[in-house]
Amino acid sequence: MTTGTDPESSNPAHSGLQVSLTVLVEGPFTRGPDGPLTTTLRVPVERIGPGPRSARFDVIVRRPGEKPFSLELGSRTPPWMVVDEGPPDSLAALLQDSRFLAQQVYAVAASTLALFESTLGRRMGWVGGGRLTISAYDRVSYRESGYYRDDGLIRFGHKRDGRAEKAVPLALFRDLVAHEVTHAIVDGYRPKWADSHAETDQLALHEAIADLVALLSVFSTQTLVEQLLTQNGGDSLDLDTLDENLLRSDLFRLGDGLFTHGSARPSLADELAPNWRTLSDPHLRGGAIVQVLLRVVARLWLMRLDLPGGRSSLYQVARAGASVGRQVLSMLIRSLGYMPPVDVTWEDLLRGILAADQAVVPDDDLDYRGVVVTAFAEAGIALPTPTDLYGVSTFTALRYPVRLAALSSDPEEIVRFLWENPTLLAAAKIDPTRPIVVERVRPTLRVGPDGFVVSEIGATFTQEFRLSAVEARRFGLNTRVPVFIRGGGQLRFDEGGRLSFAALKPILDPERQRAKLAAVQGTGVTDAAPPLAPQLPGATSKIAATPPVVSVHRRPTFHP
């Protein structure tokens, strides 16, 4: 049966098809024996128009010093996909090749989006349902590069580097593109983690997730792992004596050495700073969690190597490392569906990783979750003992006056479920006189290691409002100005429509709101004039034919 979508062809529908596109493994300075080291990424087949432009992306390309122009990268007949071309062999030609730059940006961005969608089992929304615009070689400097959340725009500038005569486009670095696209994905999925009321922990989590997706996406390329092991170990590399310190040293890095000096991120080989939870820079605070999860990768990697034949060759060692990196990345991404929509903490991240993994892999015979718990505990992050991992043990005899078909798509059905269950309302400390906002409700399908499909429905709700100074003091908050408070929760229902998971942030909880207010007052910021903390900002002008002018008030989400 044919689609008839293209008058020049009667090819069958291409839903679910993928195609391989060549990209740089890490960046233009990672070289192989005959030129830049490359790999292929599998991306979904879709129609590519001039630009290049797809249903989800609009890539703007410019040559240095010139206006943006459109590139024809797709074939003229279905599947309309980008026609794959390799990069030039010489560094000078690579830095000037606009066609390959566009292919690199599109392929990395599309594969990053596909990674989230395949792992979470659902389409990821962003930019208000529109396209994410990526300016691949912008006039801005590298310090102004980043994700502009208000415009649905990512701008990649350029940077001078002593290894090349001309400025180097940041978009040629696979991890930097993955980092910024991840910001856009997470921002679309959990918008209140980066709004004007977000606190430093939420912004730091944004940075940690973006860094880990970038690092582990690159690390999942086996040929790169082999090369890095050889470089770090040198002639004395002994596979039998590989330990955690060697596996963590310089194997994970952002920007292919472009930011060797002045990095805003801690060295992954160093110990965690004792005060990491109070660091004001979200990149530095999030960097601690990056270290924690990379320790998990290194330890699970060593466990693989200790199996029979695990150290038999460099190929086997690198293959095991790349595989573990992909698995830990999947654990991290799945945790997004098990964390609350507001005021998320590092304990919420740990609980989300454990709960999501247990739902998909009940039999943890390799003790992945045990390694995660130990690594987080070393950073001072632990769950109470005993812990109700799924958060539903106290919710007995719930009323289910809902229809399953509506529960998976209708926000009003979630509101009705909450309202009909006073114990749930009380646990979330919802103000019954104010509206409850259900921000999203979506079905998810995931395949476990046993081949069976895990079917769930995920829903998030929030409630937020401002208390006058008098109301706030009556509530128990020490303040002379109005106070904004909010809370909410993440609910998950099993395939039968029964509540199987709840992560709540109680709204009318004086203790929780006092702690938040104290953190804000400690920064010298009053709630009367939000934002309460630095946010992932965005420019205010609109994108048209050319990228907008950078706002002087914008903080880039990526600091080299």
Spatial distance between the Cα atoms of 159 and 183, rounded to a whole number of angstroms: 21
Outline which parts of the chain fall under CATH 3.10.170: 18-189
Residue 82 Cα distances to 100, 352, 526, angstroms: 11, 37, 51
Structure tokens at 366: 């390799």
Spatial distance between the Cα atoms of 34 and 54, rounded to a whole number of angstroms: 33
Beta bridge partners, 44, equal 18
The H-assigned helical ranges of 164-221 are 174-189, 200-219
- Which is it for strands 38-44 and 35-36: parallel, antiparallel or unpaired? unpaired
Question: Taking the chain, what is the end-to-end CA distance rounded to the nearest angstrom?
Answer: 51
Helix (H), strand (E) at residue 341: none
Nearest to 126 by CA among 107, 161, 150: 150
Spatial distance between the Cα atoms of 308 and 82, rounded to a whole number of angstroms: 43
Is residue 109 within 8 A of residue 132, CB to CB? The reply is: yes
Phi, psi of 436 (to 5 degrees): -105, 125
- The per-residue pLDDT for 234 is 57
Spatial distance between the Cα atoms of 207 and 222, rounded to a whole number of angstroms: 25
Spatial distance between the Cα atoms of 430 and 427, rounded to a whole number of angstroms: 8
Which residues, 6 or more positions from 284, have their beta carbon under 8 angstroms from its beta carbon?
Answer: 264, 265, 266, 273, 276
Structure tokens at 483: 């106070």
The one-character DSSP state at 56 is S
Which residues, 6 or more positions from 384, have their beta carbon under 8 angstroms from its beta carbon?
Answer: none
- The per-residue pLDDT for 141 is 81
Half-sphere exposure of 505 (CA within 13 A, CB side): 25
Spatial distance between the Cα atoms of 390 and 382, rounded to a whole number of angstroms: 16
Structure tokens at 436: 């409850």
- The per-residue pLDDT for 158 is 86
Is residue 348 within 8 A of residue 340, CB to CB? The reply is: yes
Three-state secondary-structure class, residue 39: strand
Residue 61 Cα distances to 68, 72, 336, 520, 558, angstroms: 5, 11, 32, 42, 20
What is the pTM (predicted TM-score) of this model?
Answer: 0.89
C-alpha 242 chain-centroid distance:
30
Q: Per residue of the chain (560 residues), what is the pLDDT tens digit?
A: 333 344 444 454 556 788 899 999 999 988 888 889 999 999 998 888 888 999 999 999 876 567 777 788 888 777 778 889 999 999 999 998 999 999 999 999 999 999 999 998 888 989 888 999 999 988 888 888 999 988 899 999 988 887 888 888 999 999 999 999 999 999 999 999 999 899 999 999 999 999 999 999 988 888 888 888 887 655 567 888 787 776 666 677 777 667 654 455 666 667 888 999 999 989 889 999 999 999 999 999 999 998 888 898 888 988 999 999 999 999 999 999 999 999 999 999 999 999 999 988 888 999 999 999 999 999 999 999 888 999 999 998 899 877 778 888 899 999 999 999 999 999 999 999 999 999 989 888 877 677 777 788 999 999 999 999 999 999 999 999 999 999 999 999 998 889 999 999 999 999 999 998 887 766 544 443 333 333 333 333 223 233 334 333 333 344 33
Which residues, 6 or more positions from 194, have their beta carbon under 8 angstroms from its beta carbon?
Answer: 149, 186, 187, 202, 203, 206, 535, 536
Structure tokens at 111: 């594969």
The one-character DSSP state at 84 is P
CATH number of 18-189: 3.10.170
Three-state secondary-structure class, residue 257: helix
Helix (H), strand (E) at residue 19: strand 18-24
Spatial distance between the Cα atoms of 36 and 193, rounded to a whole number of angstroms: 38
